[in-house]
Structure 1
């Protein structure tokens, strides 16, 4: 265990709940730290249900191609916590992370605060102390009461597609969830709005208009579409004729459009737009695994990994499979017990030759494999249960050597897989 791991374990115990949406504790701690959030480089603040991470990765690739130094904050991490904090282009070093965590722990002085809040404060402290041109800030959950929503005047806000997820925290309906996401919009600060359902768009635009925030919305101020082997982005400033995104799946064209709209608002060049769609890296989003113990067990079968976990993620994954060469696709699925598993699996039913249900190892909130299997059966997928991913992959590969094996259902599961097979 590293020094930062030991501190992180202590920080987990400072609040009885993993999620307790409020800004009061965050404001208290930031004041004790001397308000580092007021000293970080210009912020692009990104909220939404799906596509936040991919959109952020493409914005970062475009900015860095223009020579900018870019901080980035994301969550959750996959294999190591330090993946969440990128300083001027590089992941934070473990010793630097440990120093920051010790400082925020001391400043907090044992008071109740959630793990996400206190670690977000550590990220702000790092960003304030390291020179850069931009800070890309991804919302953790929701927006209005998220720990990242303490930036009074970001350079831009961005809202990627909003759909139903985290209903126990954000509300049961799409308009209620959209209102929480729109809470990051600030007075007179431009907001980039990605493709939205009408109910969500109305709420987001109403919030922006009430704050006199300039709106740059998909379908009104910019458009994006697939074109032959590439894609076209067009707005009032002109047209970018670009390759398809290197991130796999048709939904990545929409994410690219949102990223390009943000880059256009920041004055990006044609070369930066090209880099945004060709250089972005974002693991566990339809990622082909090419080495590691699981690849060896697959015995020549294709092995893929995807961290999507809600109904919109299931739809995006199904659309991605539609574009891939035909071959039997077998799912290995583990999910959290807070998710709409039937909603996630329903779009995948026509694509899946089978589903092997597993628990997420080491995750207290895993959905039991028996429940995953029951949900899969309810949407018409032939199902079995395995002790773990290794047993599932070996069994599938032995029965159908030419298969496509797709491990899916959770970023937490994806992180466990990538630690040994990334």
Structure 2
């Protein structure tokens, strides 16, 4: 007699794993005019722009006269600071002072790729810092190839520690990034199957009607609604070949063309605003209805905003409805009004763009409210042209700015003379 044992059904095993790793990011910080930064005082720093790694914001702090009073400014200090709210943020750090000579012997302090006795460093709250009070002796730094043309270059890498239960990575398939832009870029470069030619000041560009129509409402209207089939060449008279080439590159690849103007900020050797590729490309983006290209150009031009350039960039942004760039310019001009008013660009703004000046008045009023709330000592006054003694400067409810002529007065805290501007009457 045979006995039958009951067998349990087979159960597929499950699995998971707890993964701890770092999310890494880097930031390059260039300090120009090092010699002018000396003497700001022990414990006072120069800060980089904030950058984001692992969901937190960070900043590099450079102390030209050192952080530690006991060192009597014998050393420069460098720290990495948590610049956003966070509690017990664990991270690894790497600080590199770039050797600008031919040897490439960079000064590197790194936690990566080495064993740490107590694990990653923990930053408890916003403003927590890690770094070196005695990063480099000043006399040695100033006689080294780390300092070139009065310029220092620092690189900071932050690795934020993150942990999670991850079962998917046991069986995962990596999917590469989309390369459709590269394929369409080759289509443009090879001119294969092109069915339309553009003549831009004697330079010929071959393209594809369907691609252009799919990307631009202006081209869609031109090609699908009104253009004769046998009209294969279009003459473009309001654009330079370099700009049209950059326009086509964006249409096919969704990226800006590689050009040094897009990677170098303004300087004395850079072209004027009217000659900049980004400015001309912004005009082209406006003409052909390419909103993403317009934003890319705004982002490039935003880096060139300065006291001397802001009035011209503001006028350009207003002309082509570049609202994000316009907002940046208005805020910058309001915060630096006295200096901006001394520039030639501001004088042209007064003459040619009175409506923009009224918008600037409103922005200044809003900035004044922020400054007074933050304890700043600048006063902004409205002086009206509806009669009365010009010495009777009254604060004004800025809700009705633009309904009557007014002048703007800025009084600095140093007791200097007030400066004024008048946007004129609006209809």
For the aligned pair, the TM-score class normalised by the smaller chain equals under 0.3
Q: Which has the higher helix share?
A: 1
Report the TM-score when normalising by structure 1. 0.27
Larger radius of gyration: 2
Report the TM-score when normalising by structure 2. 0.27
